[in-house]
């Protein structure tokens, strides 16, 4: 009588990557929270959808250029302030439909709505009297010229003979 031979399944040796496990854990937690928070009885009010605009800062030898992406914000609801080398852009993005009996159930616009304030401290001195701000197509462009003392200087190198 011949006994069947039991064979172990082949195993694949893979290098352990802790980030793969962390990513799997994050996905499972996202799924758990989505299942829990997507269930809303009518008695629970809809959450407030906060808005925070994106901020991009560039530097050239002459100036800083700041772009604040704030689609859906009207010009009259934007304020730009500069104080002690700190730029602050604040304002409010209002809901498309407002009213006493209006309740938002689902908002897929990036970021929702509400009051906002973004601040950036510039690393060098600027000439506050020459700052210009232009708002076009939902993007605020702020040009902040550097003060003369902050601009790079070239020094000619002389060689001794």
Domains of the chain: 54-150 (2.60.40.790)
pLDDT tens digits in sequence order for the chain, 161 residues long: 555 655 555 554 556 667 777 778 888 887 777 776 655 444 344 445 577 888 999 999 999 999 999 888 888 999 999 988 889 999 998 877 778 888 777 766 666 778 888 899 988 889 989 999 999 999 999 999 998 887 778 888 898 88
Per the DSSP assignment, residues forming a β-bridge with 83 are: 86
Prediction pTM value: 0.61
What pLDDT does 53 receive?
87
What pLDDT does 45 receive?
45
Side by side, the strands of the sheet bearing 114-121 are 78-83, 86-93, 114-121
State the pairing for strand pair 132-136/139-145: antiparallel
Please tell me the distance from the alpha carbon of residue 60 to that of residue 42, in angstroms, as a whole number. 53
User: What is the DSSP secondary structure assignment for residue 137, as one 8-state letter?
Assistant: T
What pLDDT does 34 receive?
72
What pLDDT does 43 receive?
39
The total of other beta-carbon atoms located within 10 Å of residue 160's CB is 3
């Amino acid at each position: 009588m011949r006994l069947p031979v039991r064979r172990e399944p082949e195993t694949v040796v893979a290098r352990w990557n802790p980030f793969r496990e962390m990513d799997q854990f994050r996905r499972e937690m996202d799924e758990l929270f989505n299942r829990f928070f997507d269930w809303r009885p009518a008695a629970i009010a809809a959450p407030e959808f906060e808005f925070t605009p994106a901020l991009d800062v560039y530097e050239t030898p002459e100036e800083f250029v700041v772009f604040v992406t704030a689609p859906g914000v009207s010009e009259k609801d934007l304020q730009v302030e500069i104080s002690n080398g700190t730029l602050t852009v604040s304002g409010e993005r209002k809901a498309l439909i407002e009213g006493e009996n209006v309740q938002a159930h689902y908002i897929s616009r990036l970021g929702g709505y509400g009051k906002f304030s973004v601040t950036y401290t510039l690393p060098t001195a600027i000439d506050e009297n020459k700052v210009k701000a232009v708002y076009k197509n939902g993007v605020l462009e702020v040009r902040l010229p550097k003060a003369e003392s902050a601009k790079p200087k070239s020094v000619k190198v002389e060689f001794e003979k």
